[in-house]
């Protein structure tokens, strides 16, 4: 029996009328372990041109190397640009943006404000003292005596409202009359409050899912802490008081007093949230891992402004 004839082969100078059609199965390609970069260098349009014309001009080795090198550089630049554009998830603004908004808020408030008389200042101080004392008593009754319920969100909102009252009493029409002392006092009170708070009570032992209520509590906590950081940083930098043409700012003694409080409070917050963050990171839920990443970012940003100034 004679051997079957060999299939015809095109001559070296002969053009091919058509390319074979069909595609290897995906599993086969994977087994071959082909370099995917070999395919990325050729676009779909270029492949279409090859099919249409039957042949494609092959660049010489130098041009090919330059083209591949340039493309690699472009890809690296694109990757760098993408990394720069991706922002880490967080509850709060970047410090510089928050400080800029605070400065704008102060300017707007000063434009419409009038200076308080000594009598008004005295009444205001008494009112703030009463508010802070009421918050403290309610917290003690809730966490030590167990007489009344004082949810975390309610505590944080009461403190935030008091901070806002103090902040909006500050303007360029009058000198500071003790507002900075209240900011520092509230920072000190927070050491006790946060150390006793039950954060993430709803966390399930099975899937480490955080409730919407607990997530809102965390958001409120970091909003308030950033407000304290930004406003105290603003007072650390100082502002010009119009009538006396003097700079109003924290004194050296106040700055020295504030330093240890900032350090202790930061440690308390980080320690309080570390267990929660770790559990969320182990969750199978994307949303829980996302919250874990946010907590990681937020604890890293704690008192960023004051840390740069003290």
* Residue 155 forms part of a structural domain: yes
**pLDDT reported for residue 6:** 52
Regarding whether 48 and 181 lie in a shared domain, the answer is no
**Is the full-model pTM beyond 0.85?**
no
* Residue 185 forms part of a structural domain: yes
CA distances from 3 to 7, 8, 43, 116, 285 (A): 12, 15, 43, 112, 65
Q: Would you give the distance in Å from CA 212 to the centre of its chain?
A: 19
Regarding whether 168 and 42 lie in a shared domain, the answer is no
Regarding whether 78 and 141 lie in a shared domain, the answer is no
Regarding whether 120 and 75 lie in a shared domain, the answer is no
Give the span between the Cα atoms of 191 and 225, in whole angstroms: 12
Regarding whether 58 and 113 lie in a shared domain, the answer is no
- Residue 215 structure tokens: 């997530």
* Residue 2 forms part of a structural domain: no
Query: Residue for token digits 């000190």?
Result: 188
Burial of 294 (0-12, 13-18, 19+ CB in 10 A): buried
**pLDDT reported for residue 29:** 44
* Residue 16 forms part of a structural domain: no
* Residue 214 forms part of a structural domain: yes
* Residue 225 forms part of a structural domain: yes
Extract the residue ranges of the chain whose pLDDT is less than 50.
12, 16, 18-22, 24, 27-29, 31-44, 46-59, 61, 64-69, 73, 81-86
- Please give the residue range of the domain that contains residue 280: 95-309
Regarding whether 295 and 147 lie in a shared domain, the answer is yes
Task: Count structural domains, the chain.
Answer: 2
Which helix (H) or strand (E) is 239 found in, with range? strand 239-241
Question: pLDDT digit string (tens) for 102-132?
Answer: 999 999 999 988 888 999 999 999 999 999 9
Give the span between the Cα atoms of 57 and 34, in whole angstroms: 23
**pLDDT reported for residue 39:** 42
Regarding whether 208 and 60 lie in a shared domain, the answer is no
Regarding whether 60 and 165 lie in a shared domain, the answer is no
Regarding whether 151 and 33 lie in a shared domain, the answer is no
**pLDDT reported for residue 226:** 98
The single-letter DSSP state of residue 9 is -
Regarding whether 242 and 170 lie in a shared domain, the answer is yes
CA distances from 202 to 152, 214, 217 (A): 13, 7, 12
Question: pLDDT digit string (tens) for 163-180?
Answer: 999 999 999 999 999 999
Average pLDDT, the chain: 79
Regarding whether 47 and 182 lie in a shared domain, the answer is no
Regarding whether 101 and 37 lie in a shared domain, the answer is no
* Residue 19 forms part of a structural domain: no
């Amino acid at each position: 029996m004679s051997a079957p004839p060999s299939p015809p082969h095109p001559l070296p100078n002969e053009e091919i009328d058509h390319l074979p059609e069909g595609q290897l199965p995906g599993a086969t390609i994977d087994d071959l372990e082909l370099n995917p970069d070999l395919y990325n260098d050729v676009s779909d349009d270029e492949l279409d041109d090859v099919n249409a014309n039957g042949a494609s001009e092959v660049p010489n080795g130098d041009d090919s190397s330059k083209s591949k090198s340039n493309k690699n550089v472009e890809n690296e630049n694109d990757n760098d640009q993408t990394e720069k554009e991706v922002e880490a998830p967080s509850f709060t603004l970047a410090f510089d943006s928050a400080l800029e908004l605070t400065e704008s808020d102060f300017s707007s408030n000063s434009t419409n404000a009038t200076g308080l008389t000594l009598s008004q200042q005295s009444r205001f101080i008494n009112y703030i003292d009463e508010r802070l004392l009421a918050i403290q008593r309610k917290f003690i009754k809730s966490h030590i005596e167990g007489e009344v319920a004082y949810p975390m969100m309610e505590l944080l909102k009461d403190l935030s409202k008091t901070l806002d009252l103090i902040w909006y009493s500050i303007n360029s029409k009058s000198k500071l009359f003790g507002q900075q002392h209240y900011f520092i006092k509230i920072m000190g009170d927070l050491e006790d409050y946060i150390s006793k708070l039950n954060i993430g009570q709803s966390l399930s032992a099975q899937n480490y899912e955080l409730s919407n209520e607990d997530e809102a509590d965390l958001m409120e906590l970091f909003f308030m802490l950033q407000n304290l950081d930004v406003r105290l940083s603003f007072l650390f930098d100082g502002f010009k008081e119009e009538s006396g043409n003097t700079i109003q700012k924290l004194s050296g003694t106040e700055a020295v007093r504030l330093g240890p409080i900032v350090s202790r409070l930061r440690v308390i917050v980080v320690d309080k949230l570390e267990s929660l963050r770790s559990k969320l990171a182990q969750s199978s839920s994307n949303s829980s891992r996302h919250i874990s990443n946010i907590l990681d970012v937020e604890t890293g940003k704690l008192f960023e402004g004051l840390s740069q100034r003290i």
